[in-house]
Structure 1
Amino acid sequence: MDAGYASTPLWKKLGLKPGTSAQLVDAPDGWTVPNPPPEVRWLDESGSSADVVVAFYRTAVGVMPGLVDLGKRVYPNGAVWAAWPRKAAGHMSDIDENLLRNCALALGMVDVKVAALDVDWSGLKVVWRRENRRDWALTAKRP
């Protein structure tokens, strides 16, 4: 879905490039990324590793367990876009940017970008902190 007012195509905002493996997790019915590069490899929602995951959260209770799982899928150099319903569009939710950021930080990840994904969804891009990209794989401090 296109945000309608943004000049940057959604696929570009999300960091999709030829050869990227990507997943949509719990996306609303009919939600797609319009006109991505044809070489993007779309994965199903299994536990596959991915370069970019766009995960849709509707309630706060699923955020931390979701980020733990998705963090493993994108480790060490991929990204998770954690999407939540936009209050500016009139949606009610117990999720906001700060909740997502705090959960990511607690796992050793960091937010690097926020964007409107469409009129109904905002997204926070989180990646592994550089110092955790090696440490997380080698130690028992996994989330």
Structure 2
Amino acid sequence: MTAGYSGTPLAKKLNLRDGLRVWFDGMPESVQDEIGEYALELIFVAGPEEGPDASHIFVTERAAMEPKLAALREHMARDGHVWVSWPKKASNVRTDITEDTIREVCLPMGLVDTKVCAVDEVWSGLKLVIRKELR
């Protein structure tokens, strides 16, 4: 199964590959199932404090997003990444988050965005990495 309109499998769009230490928070079951179809050997960690290589958080409120991003920034692998997904406007899911809101929060933390993608019909995702000079 492919995500969005590109025909690219979701796991590939999200830069997931065998052996990555991952942490997913709030990920809808349908998204988990789609990633599972790619049959990757991922190592799941319990939380940000375990230093994941790749994380993906699904958020609808800025107040909930900020502490999660702060914890991820503190513990994520230097060459790791985190995806932040928020509801698309067309989804009619109540949210106070936009792509710009994520940037307002992440840039002062030393995180920069490198990619955006359609995760599914409801969620958009923004990929964040540690600013190059801070790695």
- TM-score tier, shorter chain, comes to 0.7 to 0.9
Task: Establish whether residue 113 from structure 1 lines up as the match of residue 115 from structure 2.
Answer: yes
Q: Which residue of 1 aligns with 2:66?
A: 64
Query: How big is the shift at 1:88?
Result: 2.1
Stretches of structure 1 lacking an aligned partner (at least 5 in a row): 134-143
Distance in 2 (CA, whole Å) between partners of 1:38 and 1:75 is: 20
Runs of 4+ in 1 over 6 A off after TM superposition: none
Query: How big is the shift at 1:67?
Result: 0.6
TM, length-normalised to structure 2:
0.87
* Higher alpha-carbon Rg: 1
RMSD of aligned alpha carbons: 1.9
Identity among equivalent positions (%) equals 35
Q: Which residue of 2 aligns with 1:87?
A: 89
Contact 1:16/1:37 (<8 A) preserved: no
Structure 1 SS opposite 2:126: strand
TM, length-normalised to structure 1:
0.82
Distance in 2 (CA, whole Å) between partners of 1:46 and 1:68 is: 9
Q: How does 1:30-49 map to 2 (within 5 A)?
A: 31-32=31-32, 33-45=35-47, 47-49=49-51
Distance in 1 (CA, whole Å) between partners of 2:110 and 2:48 is: 23
Stretches of structure 2 lacking an aligned partner (at least 5 in a row): none
| Deviation sequence 1:89-122 (CA, Å, 0-9, x none) | 2223110000101211010110000111111111
Task: Establish whether residue 54 from structure 1 lines up as the match of residue 56 from structure 2.
Answer: yes
Structure 2 SS opposite 1:47: helix
Higher helix share: 2
The residue type paired with residue 90 of structure 1 is N
Distance in 2 (CA, whole Å) between partners of 1:19 and 1:44 is: 16
Number of matched residues?
133
Distance in 1 (CA, whole Å) between partners of 2:2 and 2:73 is: 26
Distance in 2 (CA, whole Å) between partners of 1:4 and 1:117 is: 6
Contact 2:48/2:76 (<8 A) preserved: no
Distance in 1 (CA, whole Å) between partners of 2:111 and 2:53 is: 15
- Worse overlay, 62-71 or 45-54: 45-54
